[in-house]
């Protein structure tokens, strides 16, 4: 597993991280890992058909255009 060091974290941010970690029953380090993981993971999986349908709607295509 990679190691990441973050320097010069403002005291108020560090304090907020400690409080948030305590609220979630985790260490500060575990809380930061959770925050980072949530920040870089996509919110939901994009389904190809839904994405293509959205593009079609955006440019004004209808079912008749494909008949």
Percent of the chain scoring above 70 in pLDDT = 100
- CB neighbourhood size of 33 (10 A): 14
- Per the structure, how many domains does the chain have? 1
Confidence category of residue 42, pLDDT binned at 50, 70, 90: confident
16-35 average pLDDT score: 97
19 pLDDT higher than 80:
yes
- CB neighbourhood size of 56 (10 A): 14
Q: Please indicate, yes or no, if residue 25 is contained in any of the structural domains.
A: yes
Q: Please indicate, yes or no, if residue 3 is contained in any of the structural domains.
A: no
35 pLDDT higher than 90:
yes
3-state helix, strand, coil in the chain (%, to 5): 60, 0, 40
Domain that holds residue 28: 11-66
Q: Please indicate, yes or no, if residue 15 is contained in any of the structural domains.
A: yes
Higher pLDDT, 42 or 38: 38
CATH number for the domain harbouring residue 24: 1.10.1220
Q: Please indicate, yes or no, if residue 31 is contained in any of the structural domains.
A: yes
Q: Please indicate, yes or no, if residue 21 is contained in any of the structural domains.
A: yes
44 pLDDT higher than 90:
no
Q: Please indicate, yes or no, if residue 2 is contained in any of the structural domains.
A: no
């Amino acid at each position: 597993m990679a190691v990441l060091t973050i320097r010069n974290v403002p005291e108020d941010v560090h304090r907020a991280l400690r409080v948030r970690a305590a609220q979630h029953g985790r260490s500060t380090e575990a809380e930061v890992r959770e925050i980072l993981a949530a920040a870089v993971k996509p919110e939901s999986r994009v389904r190809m058909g839904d994405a293509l349908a959205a593009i079609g709607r955006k440019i004004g295509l209808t079912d008749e255009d494909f008949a």
